[in-house]
Chains A and B, each alone.
Chain A
Amino acid sequence: MRTDAILPADPRVSRVTGRVHTGSIATGDWLDVCHHAELEPERGACALVRGQQVALFRTHDGTVHALSNYDPFSGAYVLSRGIVGTRGDTPTVASPMYKQVFDLRTGRCLDDPEVTVPAYPVRVRDGRVEVALP
């Protein structure tokens, strides 16, 4: 039996960075992520930025939003795979797991005001998407 799908003994150790997965990376710099064109309109994608999973969403008018990919309701890293839309004037994503809706601009959960996921500054320069991590 091949067992390499089974990851290191301590599951919280990132296979990519070797870092323990929780906690934040101290940096104020803009970090280059990908081409704007690589992001599908009205859909999300995930980027791995300094070991952090950042969910990027490109809305219909080209604006890009960045949230943590971590879905606090399910404990899985999946927010980038939710359906993008609007609630009133708020651009939103619905978690693909249990469907809670988050404000793409602030990370606030519209279905549970107690919960907010990290939202990161993001900008598009020369056709490249850049985010700033705390």
Chain B
Amino acid sequence: MTAAPSRQDRPLIVAGYGMAAHRLLTALGDRGDTRPVVVFGEEPHPAYDRVHLSGYLEEGDPEQGARRLRLPEIDAPNVTLRLGERVTAVDRTARTVTTSTGDTLGYETLVLATGSAPFVPPLPGHDLPGCFVYRTLDDLDAIRAHAQANPGTGVVIGGGLLGLEAAGALRGLGLDTHVVELAPWLMPRQLDAGGGEALRQHVENLGVTVHAGTATGEIRPGPDGAAAALALADGTTVDTRTVVFSAGIRPRDELARQAGLPVAERGGVLVDTHCRTEDPYVYAIGECAAVEGTVYGLVAPGNAMADVVAARLTGDGTRGPFGGADADTSTRLKLLDVEVAGFGDPQPDGDVLDVTYADPVTGVYKRLILSDDARTLLGGVLVGDGEAYPALRACLGGPLPDAPDKLLFPGGADPGAGLPDEARVCSCNNVTKAGIVAAIDAGTTAMPELKACTRAGATCGSCVPLMKKILDERLTATGRTVSHALCEHFPHSRRELYDIVAVRGITTFSQVIAEHGSGRGCDICKPAVASILAGLRGGHVLDGEAATLQDTNDHFLANLQKNGTYSVVPRVPGGEITPERLIVIGEVARDFGLYTKITGGQRIDMFGARVDQLPAIWRRLVDAGFESGHAYGKALRTVKSCVGSTWCRYGVQDSAGLAVALELRYRGLRSPHKIKAAVSGCARECAEANSKDFGVIATENGWNLLVGGNGGFRPRHAATLAADLTTEELIRYVDRFLMYYIRTADRLQRTATWIEDLDGGLDHLRDVIIGDSLGICADLDAAMERHIGDYTDEWAATLADPDKLRRFVSFVNAPGTPDPSIAFEVEREQIKPVLIGPDLEVVRK
């Protein structure tokens, strides 16, 4: 026998690439570990955010859906991912694994992270076509395809947390949804009877039929051999072609069984609090592990196990064994539009104090369970109003910050105030209040950075409101409140100024600053107020006092370049242009000696024009039918398009036609920052709508509307606001989206960060512009109508007004003289600027 191979030549092998394995790799990377690691994942996808699996179906497009579930990519040279390859056997003596490709590989250490499999009760008919489980991306693809081909009714078997999520998904797929639960009420593991009843009311109000306290008898096939009906033990029959099992999970401990490792009584690889099996070279983490006999079906304990193992493998003594708060099984239901939260033990034995608040009218039910001395919070249930959840959960096992009745009544005390330092704010990632405060004190002032550096809030997200509260409190307490003041001249944010100008009917900058500001303004507040006035009052940017407020780009209706010349960008709606117009651009550029370049926005930019040449250039362009492209303004830039169904083999709608219509509709619209858009003719997305402030993607049934995408410094993918819209609906929602953005965003805030900062984010946005939750849609619509009615081409208007034209000279005292400092040389057959002036290092700010 050869000696056990040394650590150097054998990798750490991870069997299973799910959430726990992903966390393990991250935790090893964080600790600077560079040992070779080989990860085998049975699914063909890299680890994804299973917790948000249901979000996958909210996107019409699978790629887009998968993108929503993406976890940070593991990009370390020492880690090899082998996806679509299952570990089939473990040989503990040779210390090797065998995989589904027949390969055998030695390990230094083996970590089992195989997760769990849905439990399917062996009812008659459980394996008919039309029966599904709800666990992986592939499951969801299959459910979606089947539900689309078989509209009508869908049934979920199991009324627990996952069952209700699955029910929400079926409802989202347009099925008339039923849920069958064996226990007398929904979510029996998390809720007590009162909470379960309140939840039933909410769920039924959403149009989901609940059958509680009854077992499923059998699933009956139809003439085609696929599922057609479900018979319940209480005698009811439901006709359905889609059945989803969500009746619990079973740890995938088959590798341990095969390798002769002990498993727990009810399944799960038996490990100690260090996540070690009996074999010192084999660990188990996540849902497949039974820590001292207990299996945890949630992500937070799995993450804690991954951290324990990473710390052990790297000799990091700061992370102790699994225990205490790691075993937190608090949960909060997402998706079904109902707030449900259970934390701690909802039905403890022994002497406890029980404080309940129930309002049958609104369906709010809240219950706190305290130790009999009322000092320690043991558990609780919140249905219909989960606001207090993050803070209460953080107090679990410790004292309450206030009297329990105060915490439960609406409008009572705020449980977020006075949290103890050791309160666990983020249980998914095990971050305490002290950890968050430390990050804030180290200089973090914004939520995105706070999430990035503490990792809190990055998993289920339920702790985000509490994090935000702690951030605000701490910043205020340390006198670092991030000021929203626009600049030294105005104590207001752009949004506040917008409201002031709107409500008071102010029409000039002089009046705003005299009545609401101080000093004479600056390069920050002047353009900001100019943009607000343009949005509210319309008119030309160079009218009267407005002209003095503009940045040089808006002042000359062109873009300043590094040598003091300007560039000219005519609008080319949707990127569609006739040969005649192309020729005009070519001729103008040639005749004025301009450098030309195709821009990233599907149009043509001409560079190197002196201010005194701009009117003559634009005279030619306007005569040929061109308009300003507003490349210089914080305004709508372009609506990019692909050729769409007119030419493309795959196009399902006329994307170019819609792009042209949208660009013409919103041209000239001034906004807090530039606005970019795109329309793609099918899900292949050649117009890159996903990276735009608003993007439109054609579907068989209409259009999907995406918002909040961004290229630039911090790229962001857009999120779907609404799907399968008619053209009319689409335009209505875009109108409102843009107007609401213009009214409420901060100065120079693109839509991506604006949506991030909106209280309630995308959901709030949807409520406002689709559900009219603020009752302002009529206003927004009218504002857009006004904009469209008032639109005139800025350049045509300028050419027609000698007063406006007067400023287009290089020198007031020598109007015919060109600026002698401007010079060019030739490169690649075109001009390029030469900077003259004394040598001095150019400083960009």
Contact = CB atoms under 8 A, between A and B. Distances in A.
A6 B593 contact: yes
B837 A6 contact: no
A60 B520 contact: yes
A10 to B, nearest CB: 9
Interface string B544-555: 010111111001
B593 A97 contact: no
B625 interface: no
A42 B509 CA distance: 12
A105 to B, nearest CB: 14
Contact of A85 (B519, B820, B826, B837): B519
Given A15-B818, A33-B813, A78-B564, 5 more contacts: A5-B594, A7-B820, A21-B821, A22-B837, A87-B488
B611 to A, nearest CB: 8
Interface residues of B, number: 56
Interface in A69-84: 70, 72-78, 81-84
Contacts of B564: 76-78
A77 B488 contact: no
A76 B837 contact: yes
Given A96-B552, A98-B843, A87 B522 contact: yes
Contacts of A40: 547-548, 807
Interface in A1-24: 1-8, 11-12, 14-17, 21-22
Contacts of B16: none
Contacts of A84: 520, 548
Contacts of A38: 812
Interface string B806-827: 0100111110011111111110
A39 interface: yes
- Residue picked from A5, A8, A101, A111, most chain B C-beta under 10 Å: A5
A94 interface: yes
Contacts of A108: none
Contacts of A72: 840
A81 B845 contact: no
A48 B612 CA distance: 14
A20 B520 CA distance: 39
A49 B840 contact: no
Given A5-B608, A41-B548, A100 B837 contact: no
Contact of B837 (A15, A39, A70, A87): A70
Contacts of A112: 843
A116 interface: no
Contacts of B842: 73-75
Nearest to B553: A96
Contacts, number: 161
B591 interface: yes
Contact of A83 (B551, B811, B812, B825): B551
Interface in A84-132: 84-88, 91-92, 94, 96-101, 111-112
A17 B820 contact: yes
Contact of A97 (B560, B590, B834): B560
A16 B594 CA distance: 21
A21 B820 contact: yes
- Residue picked from B549, B812, B825, most chain A C-beta under 10 Å: B812
Contact of B824 (A1, A7, A59, A97): A7
Contacts of B840: 72, 75
B523 A82 contact: yes
B813 A100 contact: no
B-side interface mostly: loop
Interface string B712-750: 000000000000000000000000000000000000000
B813 A47 contact: yes
A97 B842 CA distance: 11
B754 interface: no
B363 interface: no
A46 B812 contact: yes
Contacts of B819: 53, 77
Contact of A43 (B488, B548, B592, B818): B548
Given A73-B842, A74-B842, A76-B563, A5 B592 contact: yes
A83 to B, nearest CB: 4
B526 A83 contact: yes
Contacts of B527: 83
B350 interface: no
A4 B552 contact: no
A13 to B, nearest CB: 8
Contact of A75 (B560, B813, B835): B835
30 contacts: A2-B593, A6-B593, A6-B826, A7-B822, A12-B836, A15-B818, A16-B820, A17-B820, A22-B837, A22-B838, A33-B812, A33-B813, A46-B810, A46-B811, A46-B812, A48-B810, A48-B811, A48-B817, A74-B562, A74-B842, A76-B564, A76-B821, A76-B835, A77-B837, A85-B523, A85-B526, A98-B844, A101-B522, A101-B523, A111-B845
Interface in A23-54: 33-34, 38-43, 45-49, 51, 53
B812 A39 contact: yes
A8 B831 CA distance: 13
B435 interface: no
Given A56-B812, A78-B560, A98-B843, A5 B593 contact: yes
B172 interface: no
B521 interface: yes
Interface string B521-555: 11101110000000000000000010111111001
Nearest to B610: A5
A78 B590 contact: no
Given A43-B547, A83-B551, A97 B562 contact: yes
Contacts of A78: 552, 560, 564
Contacts of A42: 520, 545, 548
A1 B590 contact: yes
A94 to B, nearest CB: 4
Interface in B484-540: 488-489, 519-523, 525-527
B812 A4 contact: no
Nearest to B592: A5
Contacts of A77: 564, 819, 821, 837
Nearest to B527: A83
B349 to A, nearest CB: 68
A81 B521 contact: no
A96 B551 contact: yes
Contacts of A46: 810-812
B532 to A, nearest CB: 16
A81 B837 CA distance: 17
A11 B811 contact: no
A77 B836 CA distance: 9
A14 B818 CA distance: 10
Contact of A99 (B834, B837, B845): B845
A66 to B, nearest CB: 12
A33 B824 CA distance: 29
Contacts of B824: 5-7
A9 B492 CA distance: 52
B593 A3 contact: yes
Contacts of A6: 593, 823-826, 831
A101 B520 CA distance: 14
Nearest to A1: B590
Nearest to A83: B523
Contacts of B488: 87-88
A39 B594 CA distance: 30
A21 B813 contact: no
A40 B822 CA distance: 24
A4 B591 CA distance: 10
Nearest to A23: B838
A73 B840 CA distance: 8
A96 B560 contact: yes
A86 B821 contact: no
Contacts of A101: 522-523
Contacts of A1: 590, 593
A76 B842 CA distance: 10
A85 B522 contact: yes
Contacts of B814: 16, 47-48
